[in-house]
Amino acid sequence: MIRSRLIFLLVFISLLGCAERDLKERGLVTDQAMVVSAHPLASAVGSSILRQGGNAIDAAIAVQFALAVVYPDAGNIGGGGFLVLRQQDGTLDALDYREKAPAAAHRNMYLNEEGEVIDGLSYKGHLAAGVPGTVDGMVQAHEKYGSMPWDKLVQPAIELAAKGFPLTSKEARKLNEQRADFITYNTKRPEFILQDHWREGDTLRLQHLAHTLERIRDKGRVGFYEGPTADLLVAEMKRGRGIITKADLASYRAVWRKPVTGQVGNYRIISMPPPSSGGIALIQLLTISEKYPLQDWGWNTVGSAHFMIEAERRVYADRAKHLGDPDFYDVPVEDLLDTAYISSRIKGLSLDKAADSDEISAGVPAPPESPNTTHYSIIDAQGNAVSVTTTLNSSFGSKVLVAGAGFLLNNEMDDFSVKPGFPNSYGLVGGEANAIRPGKRMLSSMTPTILEKDGELFMVVGSMGGSTIITTVYQIILNVTKHGFSMQGAINAGRFHHQWKPDWVLSEWGALGAGTGLELWLKGHRIAPKDGGIGRAAGILVLPNGKLEGGADPRGDDAAAGF
């Protein structure tokens, strides 16, 4: 028995060294402006807006609507997201257009009469949807910072939806994989599944979505939250026993918030505040990392990987206990970012062996959102930078397409603690800080981030990946600032992830290598291989000569575009 286990372990560890990506690859380099997103057509739309003289916010709006068409599993108008802005003069802002719980929501809405969780109710179907925030977020961004006419920013998405666009092999595969759920959870057969089997190169036309986008183009916020679109959404809710009402739609407002910032060496980290947990966790991780010689230890060596896992273990314990919607829960932001407090979190950290997560902190971890999110990064010709992460939660959200309106609804209600102490669809459990309440925003891991170096714009970065978003962004930043990688190389590089509980290290194939993986096992780390990659990032790096280098993730169809 011992011999067979040893053979299994050695074979498993050897597989950790199988996959390789080019760590020295240089991404697209442009002189003035750049967009990096999850789809080449969306990046092209954003680049076109910048070429016409639009600013970074103009391009962000156009990319958001384009992604709702060409990247329907995460791009959206029926979901929400976060936007972080750094203007050319250094002024900062952050927009929270995260979804909210409907007024009829309550903490026990997914429980049966015995108080037990009803399987899947918070995850699939009409009752899983929160009130969408994307359209109001884009409207508010335009009102405050936009420079081009609104209709010109929405029009490219309308044309893509009406004329159709060719499916990539990945998008065709995802549509095919979700076909059964589309049939099960829709009250009317959605246009996504009119074809039995999608293939690469097939043209997808979304006429109902085109008409919805036309109403948004012509009437702005009213074109979505009132009138025919609202009528169609509420009718869909009634057919499927959902609870979003016209009053919920009319009352939704995105919120401008102050970004969280932290100084780490000569870098200033600018990121999203709560209800995102990402900004605080990222700053904690980078602050802890500054105290150790990661550059000397090297990229993904035993020493650096062990330390990073231990840092992640401690930071995710904080995330579990202290973070939630600041409009409903008193989040101790300043205390969590206090350098003395952060230093105290690594007392007792051993460089020789793995800690036991049960001994790090008491508490209950909050549930992460699905890995099916998307991120885009933009720098315009004037030097304004925007970092945006947006989502439906899981792939294609609740699987519900609003009949006659052509857009998918999110399933963000599953990001709440459906029952304190009960695992959500991703196997983790949540606590009181993230319990369901009417009008409340659910906790998120989205981490749209901008870096300054010596006071100048240096990097725009973010990722998809649910709870792995934070560690993805963390590793990419270290890859550039500590290990000297290019932007593209930093994104290509293999990644690993630890989130306190469950007490496993997720690792992409090839991220750790055979020797490192074996030594980490011997230190007490339990390593689980992650098929399909961890995160999908989009980054832009300002080079020493002022040019821009884009990093588009090879794990997806991501693309950079600019001039």
Say if residues 430 and 416 touch (Cβ distance below 8 Å): yes
The pair of structure tokens assigned to 38 is 């999850």
CB count within 10 Å of CB 346 equals 18
Angle at 138 between CA 158 and CA 257, to 5 degrees: 165
Distance from C-alpha of 445 to C-alpha of 368, rounded to nearest angstrom: 7
Cis peptide upstream of residue 293 (ω within 30 degrees of 0): no
**Between the CA atoms of 355, 10, 300 and 377, what dihedral angle is there, to the nearest 10 degrees?**
-100
Helix, strand, coil percentages (3-state) for the chain, rounded to 5, are: 40, 20, 45
For the chain, the first-to-last Cα distance in angstroms comes to 61
d(CA 42, CA 63): 5
Phi first, then psi: give them for residue 499, nearest 5 degrees: -130, 35
- The dihedrals phi and psi of 532, each to the nearest 5 degrees, come to 85, 0
Question: 484-507: string of b/e by CB count within 10 Å (b at 16+)?
Answer: ebbbbbbbbbbbbbbbbbebebbb
How many residues are present in the chain? 563
Assess contact for 98 and 80: CB atoms under 8 A: yes
Q: How far is CA 185 from CA 210, 235, 291, 403, in A?
A: 23, 15, 50, 12
> Rounded to whole angstroms, how far apart are CA atoms 79 and 394?
11
Q: Which of 373, 391, 449, 516 is catalytic?
A: 373
Q: Positive or negative CA dihedral for 449, 468, 81, 404?
A: positive
Buried b / exposed e along 210-232 (16+ C-beta atoms within 10 A): bbbbbbbbebbbbbbbeeebbeb
* Rg, the chain, Cα only: 22
Measured CA to CA, the distance from residue 468 to residue 472 in angstroms comes to 6
Q: Are 527 and 517 in contact (CB under 8 A)?
A: yes
Instruction: Give the C-alpha separation, 268 to 262, whole Å.
Output: 6
Distances (CA, A) of 345 to 235, 288, 376, 434: 50, 9, 32, 23
Q: Which of 519, 482, 522, 520 is nearest to 498 (CA)?
A: 520
Is residue 373 flagged as an active site residue?
yes
Q: What angle do CA 187, 189, 193 make, to 5 degrees?
A: 140
The separation between CA 408 and the C-alpha centre of its own chain, rounded to angstroms, equals: 17
Three-state SS at 228: helix
Q: What contacts 498, CB < 8 A, 6 or more positions away?
A: 309, 312, 313, 316, 471, 504, 505, 506
**Residues taking part in catalysis:** 373
